[in-house]
Amino acid sequence: MTDPNPHAVPSVPLTETEDRQWASFAHLGGIIGFLPSLIIWLVFKDRGSFTNAEAKEALNFQITVTIAQVAIQILAGMLAVVTFGIGFLFGGLAWVIIIVSIIFSIMGFLKAKDGIAYRYPFALRLIK
């Protein structure tokens, strides 16, 4: 049986510094959404245990934030229809979620860059 990809390079484990660096970037990427955390987790999950754990934590939090924002927008839209537009004020809660997400992402970045595991105070643990 032949190797399906003979040009594949075996993954090299991350050094401790690189492991902390990519783990912290996974948290910091949460400022712009869940894609940075997802990409970092998919690329580095097998190369560094700290990056694997922290990127999953950041990804779970960002997925939770995305779900909350979509739910709020749907609810605000429905309330706007029922209340003839006043319900859109409820959509302002999405800005509060964005600000809280940025604050927690920065806190996670600061902890991870020092090599300390960070656990978000609320997150659906969808990726284990």
* Domain with 93 in it: 16-113
Query: pTM of the predicted model, to two decimals?
Result: 0.84
Q: Cα(23)–Cα(21) distance, rounded to whole angstroms?
A: 5
Residue 6 has pLDDT above 70, yes or no: no
Q: Is residue 92 part of a domain?
A: yes
Q: Which residues contact 12 (CB under 8 A, 6 or more apart)?
A: 47
Does 9 map to a domain? no
Structural tokens at position 4? 């399906």
* Residue 5 located in a structural domain: no
Residue 35: pLDDT band with limits 50, 70, 90: very high
Q: Is residue 108 part of a domain?
A: yes
State the chain's mean pLDDT as an integer: 88
Whether 24 is covered by a domain: the verdict is yes
Q: pLDDT digit string (tens) for 97-113?
A: 999 999 999 999 999 99
Rounded average pLDDT over 35-56? 93
Number of domains in the chain: 1
> At a CB cut-off of 8 Å and minimum separation 6, what does 16 contact?
115
Determine, yes or no, domain membership for 10: no
Phi, psi for 14 (deg, rounded to 5): -75, 145
Closest CA to 25 of 12, 41, 13: 41
In a domain, 7, yes or no: no
pLDDT, tens digit, 9 for 90 and up, residues 57-116 = 999 999 999 999 999 988 888 888 888 777 777 778 888 999 999 999 999 999 999 999
The single-letter code of the amino acid at 47 is R
Within a domain: 52: yes
- Is residue 30's pLDDT more than 70? yes
Q: Could you give the CA distance from residue 76 to residue 107 in angstroms, rounded to a whole number?
A: 29
Average pLDDT (20-27) is 94
Least confident of 4-18, 30-44, 57-71, 101-115: 4-18
Q: What is the DSSP letter of 31?
A: G
Top pLDDT among 2 and 36 is at: 36
